[in-house]
Each structure stands twice: as structure tokens, then as C-alpha cells.
Amino acid sequence: MRRAPCMAWMASILLLLAAPAAFSQTPIHGSFEACAAIEIDADRLACYDAAAARSTRNPKVADAAAADAEQVKQAAADAEATALPRSERARRAVGDLFGNEPTPVDDAIANAGRGSLLDSRWELARDSKLGTFNFRAYKPVYLLPLFWNSDPNDLPSSPNPNNTVHESQELDEVETKFQLSFKTKALENVVGDNGDVWMGYTQSSRWQVYDSEKSRPFRETNYEPEVLLVFRNNYSLLGWKGRMAAVGVNHQSNGRADPFSRSWNRVMFNVGLDRENWAVMLRPWIRISDGNEDDNPDIDDYVGRGDMTLVHTIGKHELSLMARHSLRGGDHSRGAVQFDWGFPIHNQLRGHLQVFDGYGESLIDYNHRATYIGLGVSLLEWY
């Protein structure tokens, strides 16, 4: 029985465009009355800030205050070391492990980087924390009605014979792609005034919507839940500010039966740095083996063992470049690059251009190299 493609198409577009409302209810031209109606605390605060034309926080000011506070704290520690007997210094050190009331010096140190790009997404500074179980933006949310594939993978394969397709799918080169992504904080300040546990979810779909002869099937959907323990940092490296470090567990699968089934699990390490309107995230990972019945035993030799995402904001434009690699040489030297450009159209609506080249644009294509070009709209980018 043929599905109703037009209705399905419209429903999916409405779902995508409505999804950011789950974690962003801020009116574009908000009044104080409109802000008061918002239920989510973080969005209500952002709405009040916009209505009051509150100026953006300057992370340079916060960094300078933190540096001054570090010097004051170190000077006080040095003076204490010379003035107090060893037994008293030991007693105070033990007391510090169990926490004391924060001083203005401690507050300044803990607020380093407040207002920076990474702080805006991960609530890193002490005064940026907004509590638990607020829905927040994670990865970009977009709809690309035109998504062109230079070499459709009609016969997906794997070293596992149970996961090799033997009948051609005869795929169209042009399809539609969309992505939804959000996160929420489950625990806050698990180590003193630092360390937050975040839960994230990302879903991306490739839809053969123009293939009316096959009733417009979804070719591939990837599901990616993850949990991260995120810590605030404050260090300098070659002009960049180290803002965060994280460790977590990531699962990615396409939810399909053999021979199309693909999945893997990883321990993820995140290191985030930023400077002015630049941000970079480094993510090395270690794969957790699935055992002998692995759907894709060689996936890390194609999708890689780590990636880097560099983001640059220019006014209301946002450019990002992702690169990943197998971290191997010779015939095992493989990877991918992806470029995204979000540009303003009207209010929160943006245009979105995406270009990908390499292996693993989706899980079913993890060992298949191709070039993809997509054009559409987005409501949320990285920052």
C-alpha cells in the first residue's frame, strides 16, 4: 500500500521546525509579559535579557578577573605557609576537601570564561549554571531538502558476511537529510562546584523522498544517545583558552535488521577551547568491542579514532569544519571532512549548506567513500 508522501513530507517538516521549541522558547521580539509566560527557567532568563537589551558578557573581563583572583589566592597561600605551623596547614587542607563557603576570590576563579562560546552551550562558569533537566541545544538542527550523493552505496558491505547486502537497492542520487539534536543536564556540581553530567541525543535521517516508485523510503536513520561528565577548565594554550574537558559513553546505531544493521559503542574524550568568535572541540575515542557478532568490525579504520570540529562565527553567519581520521598510515589512512555554513534568512531561520567528503557520512556507508552536498534551512547551529 502506497503511503501518502505529501502528508508525510509536510509532517516531517513541521516536526523539524517545531523541535527547537522544546529547548528554545525565547520570543524574537519579546516583551516582559511574553517572557513571564515561558516555563523553562533558562529560556525565561534569556528572554528577559533580550527584552532589557542586556549587553553580552565579555569573557575577556571574566578571564582577567580570574587571573587576578588566582594571584591573590596564591599570595595568601604563600603567606599562610610561612605563618602557620604544619599541623594547622594540614587541618585546613583537609577541611578544604569537604568544601567551604566560597569567597569572592573563589567566585572570580570559578567564573573564568563566562560568556564565551563554549560556556554558552555547556554552562561552564559557576554563574552560568542553570540547574538540571532544562532542554538545551547540542548539535545543529537542520533540514536539507536537497542532499546529493556522488556515489550511492547500492550494495552496503561488511567483513561480517551477515551484514553484506547482495541485492542492489538502486538508490537515487538526490534525497533529503535532516538532523535533530538536544541535551539536558542530569547532575550539577558533582565535584565541589565543578563537574556536570549531561545526557545528549542526536538523530539524523536520509530520506529517498523523490523515489515515488518505491514509496519514498527512509534509506538510513542514525540514533546517537550519549552521556558526558563535563568539567570546567581554565588554561591558556597558544592564544586559546582551555574551557572544558569531558569523558563519556556514546552509542550509535541505525536500528535495522541484518544485513543492514550497523552499530558501535565508544568511550569519548572531549577537549574544548575557544578564543573570541572561534571554538574548537577535539574528540579522541576508544571503541568498545561488540564481540564476534560485530556488525562492522573495521569501522574505526574508516570512520576513525577521533575528530576535530572548528567553528567560527561572523555576525549571524556560522562556519564549521569537521575532520576525522583513522590515525593509521598506509592503506588504513582514511577519514572524512565536512564543511557547514549557516547563514541568516529571517529571524531565527537560517540557510544551511553542507559539504561532506570521505567515509562514513552515515553508519550504513561507514566503509564507502563519496561526496555529499546538501542545501536547506536550519534553526540551530553550534552557537
**Could you tell me the residue ranges of all domains in the chain?**
59-110, 130-380
The CA distance from 381 to 369, in Å, is: 26
CA 205 to chain centre: 17
pLDDT in tens, 296-318: 999 999 999 999 999 999 999 99
Cβ atoms within 10 Å, residue 63 = 19
The CA distance from 370 to 355, in Å, is: 11
Question: Catalytic site residues?
Answer: 251, 253
Query: Which three three-digit cell numbers place residue 335?
Result: 577519514
Residue 79: CA count within 13 A, CB half-sphere: 6
pLDDT in tens, 47-63: 776 666 555 568 889 88
Q: 259 preceded by cis ω (within 30°)?
A: yes
Angle at the Cα of 158 from the Cα atoms of 218 and 282, rounded to 5 degrees: 80
Show Cβ contacts of residue 325 under 8 Å, excluding neighbours closer than 6 positions: 304, 305, 306, 307, 333, 334, 335
Task: Provide the terminal-to-terminal Cα distance of the chain, rounded to the nearest Å.
Answer: 43
pLDDT (0 to 100) of residue 10: 47
The CA distance from 151 to 209, in Å, is: 17
CATH of 130-380, one of 2.40.230.10, 3.40.462.20, 3.40.50.2300, 3.40.50.720: 2.40.230.10
> Residue 88 in contact with residue 80, Cβ under 8 Å?
no
Radius of gyration of the chain (CA): 24
Query: Which three three-digit cell numbers place residue 351?
Result: 540557510
Query: Cα dist. 145→12, 203, 215, 290 in Å?
Result: 11, 16, 17, 35
Orientation of helix 59-83 relative to helix 86-97, angle to 10°? 140
pLDDT (0 to 100) of residue 3: 43
pLDDT (0 to 100) of residue 85: 74
The CA distance from 336 to 325, in Å, is: 7
* Residues linked to residue 283 through DSSP beta bridges, in sequence order: 307
The CA distance from 301 to 269, in Å, is: 18
The CA distance from 296 to 155, in Å, is: 15
Q: If 0-12 CB within 10 Å is exposed, 13-18 middle and 19+ buried, where does residue 167 land?
A: exposed
> Residue 382 in contact with residue 320, Cβ under 8 Å?
yes
In single-letter form, the type of residue at position 235 comes to Y
The CA distance from 282 to 381, in Å, is: 18
Strands 174-187 vs 141-149: parallel, antiparallel or unpaired: antiparallel
Cβ atoms within 10 Å, residue 336 = 21
pLDDT (0 to 100) of residue 4: 45
Which pTM does this prediction carry? 0.83
- Closest by alpha carbon to 185, among 245, 125, 230? 230
Cβ atoms within 10 Å, residue 204 = 19
pLDDT (0 to 100) of residue 100: 58
Query: Grid coordinates 508525510 are at which residue?
Result: 8
pLDDT (0 to 100) of residue 328: 95
Q: Is 372 helix (H, G, I), strand (E, B) or coil?
A: strand
What is the mean pLDDT for each group of 10 consecutive residues in the chain (383 residues)? 45 49 46 73 69 68 82 74 68 56 79 92 94 94 98 95 93 98 97 95 98 94 98 95 97 95 97 97 94 87 97 97 96 96 93 98 97 97 94
pLDDT (0 to 100) of residue 109: 85
